[in-house]
């Protein structure tokens, strides 16, 4: 959750009351916020010691999807309405004196589609900044950049002193060598190529350079005099920078995502429109697309939807009428009225500042917050059910407990691993039909969802090489494979695996672990040649490049059949005579190949065991399982 630091005295002034910390903490909790810290004691201590100190601040944690609460303006506005001291403001689009024909125009060039295709902007007229409101204006942009803008990769914000530039503006994309301007806080003009080098060592801006560095063109905004306003998402120009004396603010927003573009431009414009000479008014701008079509931004009109009092009551256990629910929603800065045609229906207008509301359940949640979660009635549910562990969970606990009692240590590695670790390092080949791959992995360590538990155990041994031998670890957890028959296109399979590392290979040790697990699961051991045995497990030599040649075996399980008819029994005997295999392949065990150990940087021989637990779980009703 983002943490917003607000000036304590300024917030008390906006709320019209000085709260004790306990009172304000309670107010935050009621609204769904959390007071993280009050810096007053630190400030008083610094002043007492004669040290310079800032004004006391309150650090408030806000929900990640409440972008309207990322500044003191939004927090104070929301709490003021919540306390019933004012109504939610109505944000208005105000045309210039000449109407739509007098709107400032921004023309987008076709080349922008190659880098950041979406553009929006807004104008705040006759703004009066104070040092604190100016700092809040800058801080909101930083908070949005870190949050919804995903560190400027999806959206970038620029703000300019409109009186220093001349419209109409042009949003273009040019080759880096063709762009030259003096960036913010610099007197000298640089080309875009030179800026990439200049800001490589900059602690703040260096992390944004990769967003555009490898692109053949960089986005750039010019005014009518060919003066640069901004090179998003990197830096604004020195010429158009805003100051405390700025009176007319031009806000530009570029993006790769249209939905987030509209949210961000609305958020910046609405939050600081309160400082305009006429509060909560915004002047729009006409943005002309490369195909000649245009749209007027920002669009701060509300979204209209409906909610039912009966739905709110069914979720909260209350017995409220539609007018009562409407009153609660007004406390959450929503505009509401009761439907004239349906006494159970509430007409809701969602303001541009609340993009977090998608569904009727979000409206219900707001009503519950306004009523007070602590005030909701306690009631037993109408139905009585008894919880129970899942079948596969119970089974895993049996294996986990027995192996732990045998002196082995349970490991809990990551579910994600690199493609190399899952395949190449185990001398296996990816068939392209099994592994689930991450679309845009952040690091090479997390590229795929594991299809085997062995890489995680081997990495655990590698990181604990300094421990005394033998190292004996195990894991019972899920692997994931593709399953195109399922809606989610993937399936979880519960595996149990163990690895022994010592000066000797210890094949017989992991074999003993298998025998112990099967004994606790009440599965008898049978011979591979025993075709008449009804149930049991056995091992059969195999050739697997992950294991040392001649030192590997497959594990098979013969599931007990239901009550057999004479015909079914005869069929089984015929299949056995013809050596037709119907036994389930559970997994493998063996001595790991030296090349595998070399890739995982392990200097001692290891033996591994891995098998699935799925065939042994007891049948349960589907309502208790994830089976499809």
3-state SS of 476-493 is EEEEEEECCCCCCCEEEE
Is residue 16 within 8 Å of 85, Cβ to Cβ? yes
Neighbours of 213 (CB within 10 A): 14
Mean pLDDT across the stretch 460-484?
92
Residue 607 to residues 478, 524, 553: CA-CA distances in angstroms?
21, 23, 12
Q: Where in 423-470 does DSSP place strands (E)?
A: 436-437, 448-449
3-state SS of 258-306 is HHHHHHHHHHHHHHHHHHCCCCCEEECEEEECCCCCEEEECCCCCEEEE
Q: Which two tokens stand for residue 319?
A: 């017995």
Instruction: Return d(Cα 173, Cα 231) in angstroms, integer.
Output: 9
Instruction: Return d(Cα 34, Cα 445) in angstroms, integer.
Output: 35
| Residue-level pLDDT at 606 | 94
pLDDT band at 531 (very low <50, low <70, confident <90, very high): confident
pLDDT in tens, 304-357: 999 999 999 999 989 999 999 999 999 999 999 999 999 999 999 999 999 999
Strand 228-231 relative to strand 235-236, pairing: antiparallel
Widest CA span of the chain, in angstroms? 97
Q: Which residue has the tokens 């004012």?
A: 86
| Residue-level pLDDT at 563 | 55
Q: In what order do the strands lie in the sheet with 3-7?
A: 3-7, 57-61, 34-38
pLDDT band at 359 (very low <50, low <70, confident <90, very high): very high
Mean pLDDT across the stretch 509-529?
91
| Residue-level pLDDT at 622 | 55
Instruction: Return d(Cα 453, Cα 386) in angstroms, integer.
Output: 33
Residue 382 has pLDDT above 80, yes or no: no
Is residue 608 within 8 Å of 627, Cβ to Cβ? no
**Average predicted confidence (pLDDT) for the chain:** 89
Task: At 57, give phi and psi (nearest 5°).
Answer: -125, 155
| Residue-level pLDDT at 578 | 47
């Amino acid at each position: 959750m983002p943490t917003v630091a607000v000036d304590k005295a300024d917030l008390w002034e906006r709320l019209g009351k000085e709260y004790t910390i306990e009172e304000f903490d309670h107010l935050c909790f009621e609204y769904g916020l959390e007071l993280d810290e009050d810096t007053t004691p630190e400030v008083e201590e610094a002043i007492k010691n004669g040290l310079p100190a800032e004004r006391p601040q309150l650090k408030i944690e806000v929900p990640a999807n409440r972008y309207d609460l990322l500044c003191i303006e939004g927090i104070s506005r929301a709490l003021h309405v919540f306390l019933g001291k004012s109504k939610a403001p109505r944000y208005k689009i105000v045309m210039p004196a000449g109407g739509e024909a007098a709107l400032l125009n921004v023309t987008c060039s076709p080349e922008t589609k190659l880098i950041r295709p979406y553009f929006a902007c807004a104008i705040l007229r006759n703004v009066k900044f104070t040092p604190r409101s100016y700092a809040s204006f800058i801080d909101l942009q930083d908070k949005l950049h870190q949050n919804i803008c995903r560190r400027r990769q999806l959206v970038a914000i620029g703000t300019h002193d409109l009186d220093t530039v001349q419209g109409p503006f042009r949003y273009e994309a040019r080759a880096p060598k063709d762009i030259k301007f003096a960036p913010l806080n610099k007197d000298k003009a640089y080309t875009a190529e030179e800026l990439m080098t200049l800001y490589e060592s900059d602690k703040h801006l260096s992390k944004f350079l990769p967003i555009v560095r490898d692109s053949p063109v960089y986005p750039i905004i010019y005014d009518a005099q060919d003066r640069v306003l901004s090179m998003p998402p990197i830096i604004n120009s020195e010429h158009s920078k805003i100051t405390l004396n700025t009176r007319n603010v031009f806000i530009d927003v570029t993006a790769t995502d249209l939905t987030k573009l509209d949210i961000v431009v609305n958020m910046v414009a609405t939050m600081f429109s309160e400082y305009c000479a006429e509060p909560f008014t915004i002047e729009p701008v006409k943005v002309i697309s490369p195909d000649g079509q245009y749209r007027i931004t920002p669009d701060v009109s509300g979204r209209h939807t409906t909610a039912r009092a009966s739905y709110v009551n069914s979720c909260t256990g209350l017995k409220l009428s539609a007018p009562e629910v409407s009153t609660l929603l007004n406390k959450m800065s929503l505009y509401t009225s009761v439907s004239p045609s349906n006494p159970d229906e509430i007409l809701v207008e969602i303001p541009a500042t609340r993009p977090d509301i998608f569904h009727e359940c979000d409206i219900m949640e707001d009503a519950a917050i306004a009523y007070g979660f602590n005030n909701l009635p306690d009631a037993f549910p109408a139905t009585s059910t008894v919880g129970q562990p899942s079948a596969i969970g119970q089974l895993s606990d049996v294996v986990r407990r027995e192996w732990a009692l045998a002196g082995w240590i349970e490991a809990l590695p990551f579910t994600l691993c690199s493609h190399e670790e899952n395949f190449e390092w185990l001398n296996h080949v990816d068939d392209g039909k099994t592994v689930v791959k991450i679309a845009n992995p952040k690091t090479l360590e997390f590229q795929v969802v594991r299809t085997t538990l062995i890489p995680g155990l081997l990495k655990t041994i590698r990181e604990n090489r300094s421990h005394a031998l033998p190292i004996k670890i195990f894991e019972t957890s899920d692997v994931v494979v593709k399953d195109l028959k399922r809606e989610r296109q993937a399936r979880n399979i519960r595996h149990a695996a163990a690895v022994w590392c010592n000066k000797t290979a210890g094949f017989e040790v992991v074999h003993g672990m298998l025998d112990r697990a099967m004994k606790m699961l009440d599965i008898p051991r049978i011979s591979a040649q025993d075709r008449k045995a009804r149930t049991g497990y056995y091992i059969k030599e195999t050739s697997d490049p992950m294991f040392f040649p001649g030192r590997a075996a497959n594990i098979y399980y013969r599931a007990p059949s239901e009550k057999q008819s004479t015909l079914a029994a005869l069929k089984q005997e015929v299949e056995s005579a013809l050596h037709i295999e119907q036994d389930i392949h559970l997994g493998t065990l063996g001595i790991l190949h030296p090349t595998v150990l070399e890739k995982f940087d392990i200097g001692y021989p290891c033996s591994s065991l891995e098998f699935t637990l799925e065939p042994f779980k007891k049948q349960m009703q589907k309502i208790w399982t994830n089976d499809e």
